[in-house]
Amino acid sequence: MVHVGSNSTHNTSPHLEFMLLNLAAHQVVLVLGLLGVSTLLHLFGTRRQRVPYPPGPKGLPLIGNLLDIPTSKGWLAYMKMGKELSSDILHFSAFGNHIIVLNSLEDSVELLEKRASIYSDRPYAPVLDLMGWTWFLPLLPYGDIWRHTRRIFHQRFRKDVAHHFQPLQLKKVKELLLSLYSSMDEPIPHFQAIGGAINMQIAYDIDIKPPNDHYYNLAEKAVAGGAEVFLPGAALMNEMPFLRYLPSWVPGIGFQKAAAVKTLTDQMRHDTYAHTRGEMAKGHYTSLLAQLLEENDAAGGSEEQEEVVKGAATSIYAAGTDTIACAVQTFFYQMALHPEIQRKAQTEIDLVIGTHRLPDFNDRPSLPYTDAIYHELLRLRPIFPMNLPHASIADDIYKGYFIPKGSMVFANFWTITRDENRFPDANKCLPERFLDQNGQLKDDMTSWIYGFGRRICPGRHLASSMLWLTFASVLATFNIHKSEGDTGNEEEVEAAYSATAISHPDFKCTLTPRSQEAIRLIHESN
């Protein structure tokens, strides 16, 4: 492939430059020609198909629904389309690639859990290769590497062993309270980093010091950049894989963003690995990566297995950096908008715990309203408004509709959480919806927010306990205030949230200690 750009360090004659551009143009023509042939063959083949696809917008010749696939906040567009077409299942196609959007919990459970043998793969996304994210567990295709990596997570983060991380979680939350107290007028950079702080300590035993921490900033930028180009429609390569063979200077395809992410990703993986090997040389084996590398070294030092364990550790580091941060940001934002919810939770905490100590994990069953806040915030603002795509490995028929092999299948969490039959007044923040008539927490109604079937988040137990402890500890010690001029109306709240795959709010808030006793607790706990 030939790359032409103004940053070249060599002088190029006009004639040679013309030849290079002409060659690039021929590449474009060749790829488009092959595309046209493959699309016509696909259309010819599907004419014999008699079972209809699910409802969807009528496409155009050759490009199909390319222009109908939203590139920003697709979860809102898909919810609107579902209502217009009176269907909870939507179908789109672009150049022979199929996208299925599931707007109901029932359909998502049926396909992604009950038919997991068909729908547990991940679609091939060329942009992942270009970003250097082929190691990331949530995006790995179904196969041996996925199984080996998943086994590592299951062994260390399943529910019956996740409690081993509770002392570390308590320590990090106490550190968070002190950092918040030191910067009550600008608290956001501090609570944004809590997820990365926990996961970095687990994966590499590195005690990061945000907001200006080398390791944290690398992960935050790499994850944020990846989130921008992975939703359907965000990077054209995801819908049209052949575009990866075009010259990198072609605009609008995602080359530039992907290249920038890869630079960050490579440095992130190199620096953390080098740090871990350095600690192992000193006899320190406290981090997860060090333990996994030691096991591999003892077994003969397989390079393939070393890449697997490096990918597992980096997945822990990357996954928690932005996802937990997103949920914590939503907590601060929504509490600032709803002081009455704050007061009710604080009353519960004071009655159950008192004001002479901080909450701990043993208190969770006794604080149902505080736990209901956790569930309601995951519902109200799901971390992933659309779940990561599954891919079908075989043709399937569901509700009389044909879902072809290789389809990208998305559960639209946004529409599911706005189901008025399940969640009346769905756009309102109402923790009470998760309590029964006796004020006790109902059965878990939000476990699906962590995914479905074999692709459910393996770190969900760690994330749940971490988020609950953070929420309870902050409510016990601080009052959260919204910024001036923030009315909290629905349009204003929606505008505050990002349009990327991981949706987080952009806002300002301030904190004040609840009392002198709260200040004492903050200082004495560290």
Confidence of residue 10 (pLDDT cuts 50, 70, 90): very low
- What percentage of the chain exceeds 70 in pLDDT? 83
How confident is the model at residue 349, as a pLDDT? Answer: 98
> pLDDT-based confidence at 240, cuts 50/70/90?
low
Whole-number pLDDT of residue 281: 95
Determine whether the annotation assigns residue 509 to a binding site: no
Ordered by where they begin, the domains of the chain are: 74-524 (1.10.630.10)
Judge whether residue 39 has pLDDT over 90. Answer: no
Higher pLDDT, 491 or 318: 318
- The mean pLDDT of the chain is 84
Interval 340-353: pLDDT, tens: 999 999 999 999 99
Half-sphere exposure of 206 (CA within 13 A, CB side): 26
Residue 403, classed as helix, strand or coil, is: strand
Residue with tokens 């062994």: 155
CB 416 within 8 A of CB 105: yes
Sheet architecture: strand order including 97-102: 89-94, 97-102, 408-411, 390-391
Integer angstrom CA distances of residue 477 from 20, 189, 327, 514, 522: 65, 19, 19, 6, 8
pLDDT tens digits for 455-499?
Answer: 999 999 999 999 999 999 999 999 999 877 666 677 777 778 877
| Residue 481 CB neighbour total at 10 angstroms | 17
Q: What pLDDT sits at residue 217?
A: 82
| Predicted confidence band of residue 284 (pLDDT cuts 50, 70, 90) | very high
- What is the per-residue pLDDT across 376-422, written as a single tens digit (0 to 9) for each? 999 999 989 999 899 999 999 999 999 999 999 999 999 999 999 99
The pTM (predicted TM-score) of the whole model is: 0.85
**Do residues 335 and 157 touch, judged by C-beta distance below 8 A?**
no
- Residue 451 CA, distance from chain mean position: 11
